[in-house]
Chain A
């Protein structure tokens, strides 16, 4: 599991990767930010830090669900990578059906598409923004694979202007440094939040599929995605609230 968190005002950040027993990776990322001179810890070193900090640890089995075990089996049969999304129709297509319908990612086949990284962006009354992202990564990923979620500027970013959290094809998000891109067009091109999110989703993703949520220091909230859907919810102080999928 991996996660990252970023605090807009001083752009302080913390990230972790390769966690297997830490119950809440995002909180460990926070501790990396607050309690170490570093920004990013991974694997055995991160787990050791977790132990020393006394955070809640569980057996690796705690995280594993039956659904995911099933999905992994399918992915291995199809010899491809899956985004960890469950849809009922999956049970009706066997490995061979998946092979016929080859979507590509990074030049290699993927069977299904709809990722489930999680993230949150917040701005308070004073305009302070913060972003956090957490994920288990890709189904059937290579051991040791790091995606966009713990990478500052790719899956997560926050500065004085804006906070962004991304989800989707990790590799595409990394190549396009998606989260930083939103802030960069606001900072260097003077676009407002909605224009920036639109612009970035439309022009920066090549063939990659991704989505993001963002808040600005002015209390605006925006989301954008070039996928079929993105599970999301947002609320603003004036009472606006929305939950959406498509």
Chain B
């Protein structure tokens, strides 16, 4: 037993040639968040508080696709979503279509704690945030120049893909890394377990670049991008549509329960079922195991366990 924590900053087609100015800030961000989470666990904070805290850090970091630094919709706006779940009580909270709330994960937590519901979205979620006195800002706060550029490139790629006079461009796969070396997809998440086996998970995202206004991904869907029960806590990342149809987060726990697999085996099994290049996840079990499998080129991730093990990685072996 013993506590364990795992964090991710998004899985995707992260090219091995990612330049240092893009790689280093994210590694530093992961390191910082891991430290924050570890300190909180060592101070005996409940995993629910730990995962919320860590995800808030990631949301505030403009290098990740959540909170500040969220990717943009096709209209150039920000629509954030987040989800949190407590493994022991199975209580959960989720929000979508949030555009002014500084920390969507905290709003999701309030939905869980302060309403009879699980999931609030768009205007209703924003109104609830104000009612609860959560910090809100102008939407421009979340928008970074990199994301404006990403949106431009994605819209260009879309347009170019339809332009049959440019056959070379037509061969570019839809999810290819953009010219600046960044993946189009990403999310942030954190899972944690304390040494009493209390589990929690939290996930937050801006969605996918150039998404339709109103598009909801896997992150706020319990069982898809986020799930925790008495066995494990899971946070997934990747192409939302694939994670939804694969009920990824739920399946890790289901496979552990119904097939008796270990966390690592279950997580690897579930990721294997998803078409290559589409998903990754971080998970911890009630007994303090950690798993961080992905079938994409890379996944920004970090983990630590009470026995002193810790790791920060982007690429390396696909199943860990």
> Chain A: residues with CB nearer than 8 A to chain B?
11-13, 15, 17-18, 36-46, 48-49, 81, 105-108, 141-147, 151-154, 157, 170-171, 174-177, 180-181, 184-185, 188-189, 206
Contact = CB atoms under 8 A, between A and B. Distances in A.
A109 to B, nearest CB: 9
Interface of B: 90-92, 94, 96-97, 115-125, 127-128, 211-217, 221-224, 227, 240-241, 244-247, 250-251, 254-255, 258-259
B119 A43 contact: no
A142 B255 contact: no
B224 A152 contact: yes
18 contacts: A15-B216, A17-B216, A36-B212, A39-B244, A39-B245, A43-B122, A43-B123, A45-B214, A48-B213, A107-B116, A142-B117, A144-B120, A145-B120, A146-B121, A147-B117, A152-B224, A174-B119, A189-B258
A188 B211 CA distance: 34
A188 B222 contact: no
B124 A143 contact: yes
Nearest to B90: A175
A182 to B, nearest CB: 11
Nearest to B240: A39
A176 B94 CA distance: 15
5 nearest A-B residue pairs (beta carbon): A144-B124, A45-B214, A188-B258, A108-B116, A45-B213
Contact of B214 (A43, A144, A151): A43
Nearest to B121: A144
B316 to A, nearest CB: 30
Given A13-B245, A18-B121, A152-B245, A44 B214 contact: yes
Given A38-B240, A108-B115, A151-B223, 7 more contacts: A42-B121, A48-B213, A142-B128, A144-B127, A152-B244, A152-B247, A184-B254
A11 B241 CA distance: 10
Contact of A144 (B90, B122, B227): B122
B258 A185 contact: yes
Given A142-B128, A151-B222, A180 B212 contact: no
B251 A42 contact: no
Contacts of B244: 13, 39-40, 152-153
Given A43-B97, A153-B223, A17 B121 contact: yes
Contacts of A48: 213-214
B96 A106 contact: no
Contacts of B217: 40
Given A12-B245, A38-B241, A153-B223, A188 B254 contact: yes
B184 to A, nearest CB: 12
B256 to A, nearest CB: 10
A153 B221 contact: yes
B245 A11 contact: yes
Given A39-B244, A45-B213, A49-B214, A177 B97 contact: no
Contacts of B118: 106, 146, 170-171, 174-175
Contacts of A180: 223, 247, 250, 254
Given A38-B241, A171-B118, A177 B223 contact: yes
Contacts of A13: 244-245
B222 A177 contact: yes
Nearest to B215: A38
Contacts of B250: 153, 177, 180, 184
Nearest to A46: B214
Contacts of B246: 11
A106 B217 CA distance: 25
A124 B215 CA distance: 31
Contacts of B255: 188
